[in-house]
Amino acid sequence: MTQQLSTAATPFTIAVPEASLEDLRRRLIHARIASDFNNADWQYGVERSYLVDLMEYWRDGFDWRAQEAAMNALPNYRVTLDDVPIHFVKVEGKGPRPIPIVLSHGWPWTYWDYHKVIGPLSDPAAHGGDPKDAFDVIVPSLPGFGFSSPIDRTVIPRQMAGLWVRLMTDVLGYDRFAASGGDMGAFVSAYLAHEHAQHLIGAHLAFPALLAASTAAHDPADNPDPVEREIHEAVLKRRHTIRAHVAVHANDPQTIGYALNDSPVGLAAWIIERRRNFAADGDIEARYTRDDLLTLCSIYWFTGTINTSMRVYRDMIARSPLTGELDGSAPYPLAHDRMPVLEAPTSVSVFPGDIGFAPRSAYERYTNLHHYTLQPRGGHFAVFEEPELYLTDVRAAFRGLR
């Protein structure tokens, strides 16, 4: 059934001024890129020759207008909720009974990370699927990210979940809806399943959001499942790759925000190192084209949202009540103490190359577990890197909940 948008939502066209493109090129021409040595393996961070080559392409070869046209080929909208601007894409499903699903991204992602799956989810028959699996697909930009800007206060995932309820019910007219997300978007989806279960058909998580306390103390040796144990041990070995940006974002994001908002080279280096570190195999060139990476960087650059996107960490990450230090084992704030913590039907995709892990036993204890899949491959950005695996699992997760 076609849903009518509230008059509060208006069509939105992405249109970066030509002056902004010229300013970016000028900055890239005059960039002062630091020297580098003994860094072929990126042990000190982004390797200089790789970065120089990419920046030259951003300056002379990258076609933002082509990317902009691709984004504008989808129906884009904007709405303001509680003085927070929300940009979103809405594509109606083609099938007998499409169900609405809101897809939430993370950092350093944008809503565009989902562009490979929007068509197959909304029109499965056109992509070799079953029309009975059709979804109305809604993909917002998180507040303070990309085109959901500018903002004058930080909005954390729990608050985002409340805004998504208003977006889906008040603006789009759905009584109930599904949710899926990875990284920070998994926290948004988990909070929907926790605090707004009455509105949720179900939640699909590609990251162990809200399970930090249960997993931090978990010893992989105690896990009887050999595949889960292997995944957890691998996750523990790559945890060092998240420490730098989490520490900065959670303590003094404004300081580095000044630098990254002023330098496209700095912004690109900060973002691209994370995409490389969190890729399933660490081979960024095998996972992303230069256009992929620079579209991501360009959205943050042209919207001036690298700063506001990073500040979310400062307010969402749990801290010790005594010292104020980051405490990854501390529970995130919850709306109730009922069990399971996630009351809506919860489905889980475990990608072996991710940076977080919780065993099936934790999901069975803390969530209303409906569907659980150990994926054969994929990392933190699996929806972009392994869209077919993501699609198959989302369809399977909600097939029994329609």
| pLDDT bracket for residue 31 (50, 70, 90) | very high
Query: Which long-range contacts (C-beta less than 8 Å, at least 24 apart) are formed by 7-13?
Result: 8/79, 8/80, 8/170, 8/171, 9/77, 9/78, 9/79, 9/171, 9/172, 10/77, 10/78, 10/79, 11/75, 11/76, 11/77, 12/76, 12/77, 12/78, 12/87, 12/147, 13/72, 13/76
What local confidence, expressed as pLDDT, does residue 213 receive? 45
> Residue 327 has what pLDDT?
59
Structure tokens at 156: 């954390």
How do residues 206-232 score in pLDDT, each as one tens digit?
999 887 544 544 566 667 788 888 888
Q: Residue 281 — pLDDT band, cuts 50, 70, 90?
A: low
**Per-residue model confidence (pLDDT) at position 320:** 53
* Mean pLDDT to the nearest integer, 185-208: 96
Nearest Cα to 349, choosing from 398, 283, 316, 312? 398
**Residue 69 predicted with pLDDT over 50:** yes
Does residue 14 register a pLDDT over 80? yes
State residue 3's pLDDT score: 61
Tell me the mean pLDDT in the region 292-318: 94
Looking at residue 282, its pLDDT comes to 65
Instruction: Kindly indicate the confidence band of residue 238, based on its pLDDT and cuts at 50, 70 and 90.
Output: confident
Domain 10-399 class in CATH: alpha beta
What is the per-residue pLDDT across 93-104, written as a single tens digit (0 to 9) for each? Answer: 999 999 999 999
pLDDT band of 239, cuts 50, 70, 90: confident
CA-based R_g, the chain, Å: 20
pLDDT confidence of residue 105:
98
Mean pLDDT of 124-131: 96
User: What pLDDT does 237 receive?
Assistant: 85
Q: Which of 26-40, 268-282, 321-335 has the lowest mean pLDDT?
A: 321-335
Taking the C-alpha atoms of residue 378 and residue 384, their distance in angstroms, rounded to an integer, is: 9
Query: Tell me: the pLDDT tens digits for 321-333?
Result: 555 566 555 667 8
Confirm if 89 and 148 have CB atoms less than 8 A apart: no
Residue 127 clears pLDDT 70, i.e. is over it: yes
Mean pLDDT for the stretch of residues 246-271: 96
Spatial separation of the C-alpha atoms in residues 19 and 311, rounded to whole Å: 28
Parse the chain into domains and list their residue ranges. Answer: 10-399
Cβ burial of 4 (10 Å; 0-12, 13-18, 19+) is exposed
Cα–Cα distance for residue pair 113/119, rounded to 1 Å? 13
Classify the C-alpha dihedral 379-384-388-393 as positive or negative. positive
> What is the per-residue pLDDT for 184?
95
pLDDT at 1 over 50: no
For the cut 90, the answer to whether the pLDDT of residue 308 exceeds it is yes
